[in-house]
Each structure stands twice: as C-alpha cells, then as structure tokens.
A and B are shown apart, each in its own frame.
Chain A
C-alpha cells in the first residue's frame, strides 16, 4: 500500500486527466478525483468509464467551481477527506489539477517523500512578503468581503471593493490565525491535513475564508501554519505565471526544458500536447534518480516572456508593438551618430571617418534628392530604398528602421541645413542620438560657388535660418540626445582635438590616435566671403569668429588642398 495519494481537481480536458489519474493509480498511488459540476455529462461519464477498472480511483462529491471563490476549497476539502478516510496507508497527500503532468516517475517522488516523512510542502508566506499578487489585493484579501464574482461580475466586484475601502470597512481575522499566501498546489502530511480538516473551529474558519478573495491560495496555506510541525515553504508543482497572473501552458516544444527541470509535477500542459503526454506517461522505469527539483532552470524562459510583453524590444515598431509617443522604452534600437556640417569642413569626410573608425559612414541620408547611403547603394540593410518620397512619407520610421536593421554596428550619417529637417524633432528627443554639430559650415561650400552674390546671400540666409531652427530644437528642454556644438570659428581653431573626440565616441575608448589627417576643404577667402555677407546686411552669426590670422594666402604654385597637421 502506497504512502502517497493524489487529489485531482478536474475542470476540462477530462480525457487527459483520466490518463494522468490512471498513470498514478496503476503505480499504486490512490487518487480521488473531483470533477467540476459544470463539466459536461458525456465527458464525465467517459472519464468514469475509463477509470472504472482501477480499484484505487474514487470520485468525490462534485462542486461547481469558479476561479477565485470558495468552491475550489470546498472541493479540495471533500476530496481530501475521502482520500484520508478510504486509504489508510496514505501519509502524504498531493494536490494536483487535471492539467498537471508528472515529469518524473512517481516512484521517485514517493522515495523522495519517504525520506522526508514529517515535512509539509506548501508555499506559505505572509502578505508583506509576496510580490506575485496581481491586481494589488494582497493584504485586503483578508480584510474585505468579496461577495461578487470577479470573472462574471467584474463591475460589481470593483465597486464593492471601492466602497468598502471608502467606508473603511474591515473585518477581523479569527483568533490564532495569521494570514499566509502561496501557490494553491501543495503536498501535506496526513497529520497536518487531518488536523486542518478535523479542527473543532473549522466551521468558524470556513465561514471566514468563504469571503476571502481567492481562498484556495490562502486557506490551507494559512491553517497549515497552525498545525504543521515542519513546513517547507515551497511547492513541488512546477507552475509559471505570466504578468497577468495566468499560468503558462506547456507544449510539445517544452519537452527538453521540462526534462531538465527535475521537477516532479508540472502545471499546466496543453491537452493537445501529445508528445508531452506520451513522453512523460510512458517513461520506462529506469534507475530511480534522487535529483532535487530545479524549477529555476525554467524561470529564465518565462521571465523573458514577461519582459517581452511588458517592455518589448527597444526601438522596434511592428504589427504587435506601436508605442505611444514617450512610452517607447527606447525610441530607437541602438546608439547612432549624426555629423552635422563636418563634411563641409573636410573633403571626403565620410570615407575618412569610416577608415578611422572601421564603422560604415553614410552620406546625407536626408538629402532632398535621395538617401545617400554609403557606397552609393540604391537599397540598404532591410531593403530600405533610397527613394526620397518613400523616406519623407515617414522619416521617423525610415530612421528607426535603419537603426534596427543595423543593430550591432553604429549608424553614422551626415546632416545639414540643406537636408529634410522633419526627422530632427524625433531624433533630438532620442537618448540614442548623438549630434556632432559645426554651425555655419554651410558657408564653406557656398563661398566657392560660382554664382551671383545676391543669390549666394539669399541661400546663406535660408541655410542659416534652417540651422537656427535646428539649434533651437537641440537646445530645447525636451532634448535627450547627446550634443556637441561648435561654431565654424571655434571648430577651426582646434579641429584635430574636436575630431579626436568624435573618433573616441564612435570607436570607443580603445580608439587609436588619429593616424591620417583629413583633408580640409578650401577655406581660402572664407573670411572675405563672410565679411562680404555682413557688408550686404546678412549677418552669418552661426559661422562665429573665424580664427585669426586668416589662413595665409597660398603661394600660387601650390594647387593641392590645405592639409591640417
């Protein structure tokens, strides 16, 4: 006769429950089955018929069960009483559900319990210490009354809680009871369980718990503390809950994960998981192992699921994730760098920067004509097109797509006042963005253009206006981006020091010292050009004070561009 007996609470998928009950019963563990009174009659009949040949399977009185209410405790009490009464040899009672699945041979569980004959395994913690209650009702479960069903009458439930709080209603916990909570799946010794069920004050306790919220998580957990000689506060049933407090379901593809957990019983298995049921219910009796259950091994997988559901992947916009503004948990997937004006100061700057940092560097991605990807590509990572119309249709997504598609490398691109500016609103509020700005750099290409001066002046005024608006955004209190801003004058004063900070920023602290200096653009005559603009009434303030002395007029023989040393 076995020392271990099972109480099974079954609601749906009774064919699977019957399979598991048979597995236990055939291995000499008596089983008392409670079937929800709402289960369909045909299914219940089929289950009874299926198990009719087993002498040690009994069916107890049926209660109509509803999640979160007393009926689940009543069902457990009835089934436990029957098990203790009819199977005198049982020493440990294991409470399981119809969707539980034994992961290790029941003989191993029995041996393991035989080695701990006096121990009750029931998760039982005080309300202050639980962090898993969802819905905020931890302490209040025990002090308020819950006459309405949360599942069926949510509105009434919420209102009744609200009014009890408002009126300050609170009821006393019975003497000698200190509320504890825990998983509803336990394994208790006959001594403890019978002490709870035969307590002279049971009627009083039952009356109290009848109005407690989710009593199946607190009735036995609380009363076991009164009688249990040796309580181990943990559950032997592996069961994972998602962020809404709903149990995770195990499927065929969890087979390896469950095997490695070394837990005795898991809840809950999907009824259609044929491979799981086949694998665990037909395990050939090998040499019994004595491994300790390791539920933590599975934790990681399910913790990741909660993280994904609540915080998601930063910078991803897709059919299942479209955060409202400022709720993104990361507006973009990775850090990226915007070089503003630098390519006007230096010739072939993107190529040079790319060589120095080993990072791909794009041209003007927001050029009005087309997105200027590195190497003149017409499409880029993720099959993003260089079409200006497609980009301008949704510039924010164009940018976040590029950052997402190039995760693992830093997106670096050129920007300037001649580019489309719509994206800046998004980018300056993104902590992943870093702006390296040389203001007034537009004056350099402008002063070399062979155009009427009046035209150049108008152009300069326009570029300065656009750039001023951009700077205003960069200086706004909403700005979260990293910004480094120099006027052209300041920058030209110490160009290499400033460039080194950019290299360090892109290539990291291990960045090499500059090996090769970039070629500076032709700036001869720039001071004159700026002065001419001033003389004509357009003050290029963003250019700043150009360094003095002006780069000396070059000897006529020298035709190669100026090189910064």
Chain B
C-alpha cells in the first residue's frame, strides 16, 4: 500500500472520530455509573432499540463471561428497555431519538463512547442478539482470554457471525423473556461460507450461511457480511469503520493468519431468527433505518415466514464442535 493511500486512511479515521464526536451530542446520559469502572475491567458497548425481552439473558450471559460494565445507547425504545437498564447496577445508559442511519448505524455513537470510556480496556462491541463464543469459553472466562491476548501482544480478537435458526417456520419459534434463545434457534450452517480479502482495509470479507442461501441466492454479492471484530484492546485513536466488520488503523483487522497457520478466533452466535424477526422486519422496513436501504429486511419481508432448516443443518452443542467444524480456532491457545 502506497504512502498516499495510508495517509488517506489516516484522514478517514480522523473523520470518523470527528463525526463520532459531532453525532454524540445527540446522546443524553440518563444513568452514569461509569465511575464504577476499574482499571483492567472488560467493558461492553451496545446500541439497542426495543429489546426489553432479550436484555435479561443478554446481560446475564456477558456477566457470567466476565464483563464488568455495560455502556448502552438506547435508540428511542418504547418497550421499557430504558427503564429496565436504568435499574441494573452495572449499566450506564445514554438515550437518543436521533437517526440510527445517520449515525452510521450506531457506529458514531459507539466510537464516541469507546474513545471516551474504552481507552486501555478490552472492549466488547456487540448487538443485543450477538453472543460471543470462543475456544474454552465453558472453562475459561473472558478475562482469561484477554490476559492471554495481552501476553501475546494481540490487540483484536476476530470472530464470524454465525446465524442461528430454528427448525420450522420462524413464526413458530418463540423465546420467552430470560430464556436461552439457542434452546430454540439451535441450528446453523456449518460449511457454506465464502471468504475473500478486502485489501484496502486488510480485513476478511465473509459471506454465506442461511441468509445467503435463502434470500440472496440470486445476488450473492449483496449478502450480509459476517466477519466481525468485536473484542478490541481499545485505544482512543481507534475507530470502527463499518459496523464492527472493520477497524482503523488497518493493522487491527489482521485477526487471521496469512501464512497457513490459524489464529485464535471465535464466533458471535446470532439470535436474530426467532418469531420476533417478522415483526422487526415489518417495523424496520417502515422506518428504513437499516443498512443499504434496508435491503436485507426487504428480502426477508418478501419471504413470509421462512424455514432455514435442511437435513445438513448442524445442531449447536458447544465450542468444541465449532472448532472441529473449522468455524473457530484455538490458535496456539492451549
């Protein structure tokens, strides 16, 4: 990469950060418990809207893994999400009714909170329907992973978004509040992912899975990206460039090995495909606040109540199964 291109990326990163600062003026801090954050703690950054039913399980999942504090942006929820979060002792909450789309799908808000509170911490930036699974996660909490990453001088931990789905039509897959969504949505595609490299940012571009198969079989190039880098030892100069798919500076995107070896990676289990999905697609379609003119949701809305299941679907057991299938890797963490 030529020096001028590198400089261009540097300018871009600065623009992201200025933009994040500008957009963050629309955020109102309603509960500030950030004074409870201690050195070395793992922080979780979330943007959400109308996720009340999901939140208890979400928060518990990451508390159990070892997240110490949650910093959440509530984008105009009407279902009591905000009130619920305000009562949690490890949550700091910002609210805004500004446009999700015009804040680069929440990333401007996240970048601002990350640079303000995340500096020097391991920061996990996820959606409320994304659940991190990494090698040994049943026996080793998140701080074990981040200590190991620190000792190995690794600053970012790569994952793939793994779409989970139920057997049968989505409309019949219910998940009550506080329940494990993966009791119902326990199936996934194990080996139909295509990968290519984005040379400009240096990251991988992963597509495929049930969504590509069911909704984008005629336009695979439009299928959603599944590569994510949610866990980063944050520095105030860093910025997410596009969702959590890629970061700047670009060296952070090198979460994979180029010479044949494997680096330790995980997955984000994606609990999106449940009965709530149809309602959400309808609503989001009318708001038109999602990525690329809501193309994803349009494809979904046309599909009625899809059934992703087929006889080659894998039933989720644990991280060891994902390791054997080649979806995650232990790298040299043993």
Interface residues of A (CB under 8 A from B): 240, 242-244, 246, 248-249, 251-253, 270, 272-273, 301-302, 304-306, 308-313, 316-324, 327-329, 378-385, 387, 389-390, 393-394, 397-398, 401, 404-405
Contact = CB atoms under 8 A, between A and B. Distances in A.
A368 B84 CA distance: 54
A244 B263 CA distance: 13
Nearest to A379: B310
B329 A327 contact: no
Contact of B141 (A272, A306, A387, A389): A272
B204 A322 contact: yes
A378 B212 CA distance: 14
B192 A305 contact: no
A249 B151 contact: yes
Contact of A322 (B190, B210, B256): B256
B251 interface: no
A328 B217 contact: no
A384 B191 contact: yes
A225 to B, nearest CB: 32
Contacts, number: 187
Closest 9 CB pairs of A and B: A382-B191, A309-B332, A320-B265, A305-B334, A393-B220, A329-B260, A253-B139, A383-B189, A394-B194
B126 interface: no
16 contacts: A249-B144, A253-B136, A253-B140, A309-B331, A312-B260, A318-B327, A319-B206, A320-B263, A327-B258, A382-B191, A382-B192, A384-B312, A394-B196, A394-B220, A404-B191, A405-B190
Nearest to B331: A309
Contacts of A312: 257, 260-262, 329
Among A324, A327, A380, A385, the most chain B Cβ lie within 10 Å of the Cβ of: A385
Interface string B308-334: 001111000000000000111111111
- Sorting the interface of chain B by its residue count into under 10, 10 to 19, 20 to 34 or 35 or more gives 35 or more
A381 B195 CA distance: 18
Interface string B191-221: 1111111000000101110101100111111
A318 B220 CA distance: 18
A67 to B, nearest CB: 11
Given A249-B147, A310-B260, 13 more contacts: A243-B332, A251-B136, A319-B265, A320-B328, A321-B329, A323-B257, A383-B192, A385-B213, A387-B213, A387-B220, A393-B220, A397-B194, A401-B192
B331 A389 contact: no
B326 A316 contact: yes
Nearest to A13: B147
Among A329, A383, A404, the most chain B Cβ lie within 10 Å of the Cβ of: A383
Contacts of B263: 309, 320-321
A381 B311 CA distance: 9
Given A246-B151, A252-B139, A313-B326, A322 B334 contact: no
B204 A319 contact: yes
Contacts of B213: 379, 383, 385, 387, 390
Contacts of A320: 158, 255-257, 262-265, 328-329, 331
B164 to A, nearest CB: 13
A385 B219 contact: no
A381 B152 contact: no
B33 to A, nearest CB: 24
B83 to A, nearest CB: 34
Contact of A270 (B144, B194, B207, B227): B144
A379 B197 CA distance: 26
Contact of A308 (B139, B208, B219, B261): B261
Contacts of A323: 257-260
Contacts of A389: 217-220
Contacts of A384: 191-192, 312
Contacts of B274: none
Given A251-B140, A313-B262, A308 B332 contact: yes
B312 A321 contact: no
A398 B194 CA distance: 7
Nearest to A309: B332
B143 interface: yes
A47 to B, nearest CB: 18
B248 interface: no
Interface string B75-117: 0000000000000000000000000000000000000000000
Contacts of B151: 246, 249
A315 to B, nearest CB: 9
Contacts of A242: 332, 334
Contacts of B206: 319
A276 B213 CA distance: 46
B308 to A, nearest CB: 9
Nearest to A403: B191
A251 B144 contact: yes
Given A305-B330, A319-B159, A382 B261 contact: no
Contacts of B190: 382-383, 405
A253 B262 CA distance: 22
Nearest to A252: B139
A311 B331 CA distance: 10
B139 A251 contact: yes
Contacts of A378: 310
B312 A381 contact: yes
A405 B327 CA distance: 12
Contacts of A329: 260
Contacts of A244: 152
B160 interface: yes
A244 B261 CA distance: 13
Nearest to A310: B261
B160 to A, nearest CB: 4
B148 interface: yes
A35 B202 CA distance: 43
A328 B259 CA distance: 7
Given A321-B263, A401-B193, A272 B144 contact: yes
A239 to B, nearest CB: 13
Interface string B146-173: 0110011000001110000000000000
B147 A379 contact: no
A305 B332 contact: yes
A324 B141 CA distance: 33
Interface in B6-31: none
Contacts of B310: 378-379, 383
Contacts of A328: 260
Contacts of A394: 194-196, 220
Given A322-B204, A383-B310, A385-B213, A308 B194 contact: no
A313 B326 CA distance: 9
A318 B329 contact: yes
A333 to B, nearest CB: 9
A322 B261 CA distance: 8
Contact of B261 (A270, A304, A311): A311
B202 to A, nearest CB: 11
B160 A318 contact: yes
Nearest to B159: A319
